[in-house]
Amino acid sequence: MSRPFRMARAKADELSIVMDLLDQRTAWLHERGSDQWSTREFKPLMQDAIAQGFTWLLRDAADMAVATLTTNTVADSDFWSSREIAQPAYYLSKLATAIQWKGHGLGKLLISWSAEYAREHGVNLIRWDVWRTNRGLQDYYRSLGAQHLRTVEVPGRRSGALFEQWTSDEGIKEISTENQLAPVVRLPSERLELPQIRETVEDARGNPTDVDPGTRRVASWPVAGLDTMPNSTSAAAPSLRPSIPRPLCITPSKPVVLFDPGTGWRLHYGYGSPLVEAWPEQLRPATLRPGHAYLVRLSGDHEHVEVVADKGLGDQQ
């Protein structure tokens, strides 16, 4: 059975289509007394977002664009705390549906698709900020199961109601996506036997832990994890310190997420997501695309460690 909607990245020559959807929604909001999206000129922002591969268009069975959204891993430091920024998440913005499709559940569908897209890239959270005065939209997101974390007021910014939602394993049957994960580079690695795994891999507190047989070690990529240690002022709120760098280990069941929230590239594995300070020779960080999540995982035959991204993002590698 064919799916009624198709999601694809917006192309440079589709900027006018994206802007039309946003302008229609902005006018609709203004007619109802809302000042949402009235403080910025969006066209240069959206042109840049399209160029970076952040903006998507949803099309119906007749190939008409019926919605748009923008999503990437870059957190807005005006709104999100340093602890939140260190967590891998996809941040949603400029979500708009065609006016004639109001009441057909496209907003819910876009949120569900965003969660599935994040999960496929090893990211378990989606987040977004909402116009502070748009209480109706905030109530709508609550009705979808999103959690309202807090509302912050930043001078010069009218958004600030912060929402997040954890991903799930539920698939989206209504949308087909023109996207495919593909290897960017394969890294030299060695297979570890079980005794070596117990000696090499630690849990969040620095203790040896049992992991899946078939774990591979990337000797050329030393990574410092995060160990917990008692806080002198509050035993209930432990502080964190980097552990001694060890070669990155990849297990069959748990890939590692490489992402840049706007503060530098981080590796998320286990408990924390420390900044990447040393890179393997085969992976050139200057050619990675900030705002996109990369999976570091075992190949299908478990014989290689590969860095994987959306097909096309590694073309400059």
Last residue of a domain, one of 177, 204, 235: 177
Say whether both 228 and 167 belong to one domain. no
Say whether both 168 and 121 belong to one domain. yes
pLDDT tens-digit profile of 183-223? 999 999 999 876 555 545 554 444 555 556 788 999 999 98
Last residue of a domain, one of 177, 209, 225: 177
Q: Which domain holds residue 59?
A: 5-177
Residue 229 confidence (pLDDT) above 70: no
Q: How far is CA 244 from CA 206, 226, 241, 249, in A?
A: 10, 9, 10, 14
- Greater model confidence, 127 or 244: 127
Quote the pLDDT of residue 211.
Answer: 55
Residues 64 and 87: their CA atoms lie apart, in Å, by 36
Asked if residue 80 is part of any domain, the answer here is: yes
Q: Which CATH number belongs to the domain containing residue 34 in this structure?
A: 3.40.630.30
pLDDT tens-digit profile of 257-292? 999 999 999 999 765 688 898 999 999 898 899 999
Asked if residue 9 is part of any domain, the answer here is: yes
Quote the pLDDT of residue 271.
Answer: 58
Say whether both 137 and 213 belong to one domain. no
Say whether both 19 and 141 belong to one domain. yes
Last residue of a domain, one of 120, 149, 177: 177
Pairing of strands 175-177, 5-9: parallel
Number of domains in the chain: 2
Mean pLDDT, the chain, rounded, equals 86
Asked if residue 78 is part of any domain, the answer here is: yes
Query: Could you tell me if 280 and 231 are in contact, meaning their C-beta atoms sit under 8 angstroms apart?
Result: no
Asked if residue 317 is part of any domain, the answer here is: no
Say whether both 155 and 10 belong to one domain. yes
Q: Any bridge partners for residue 242, and if so which?
A: 226
Asked if residue 315 is part of any domain, the answer here is: no
Residues 304 and 297: their CA atoms lie apart, in Å, by 8
Say whether both 143 and 97 belong to one domain. yes
Quote the pLDDT of residue 270.
Answer: 61
Say whether both 113 and 232 belong to one domain. no
Asked if residue 168 is part of any domain, the answer here is: yes
Say whether both 52 and 166 belong to one domain. yes
Quote the pLDDT of residue 246.
Answer: 84
Say whether both 20 and 35 belong to one domain. yes
Asked if residue 99 is part of any domain, the answer here is: yes
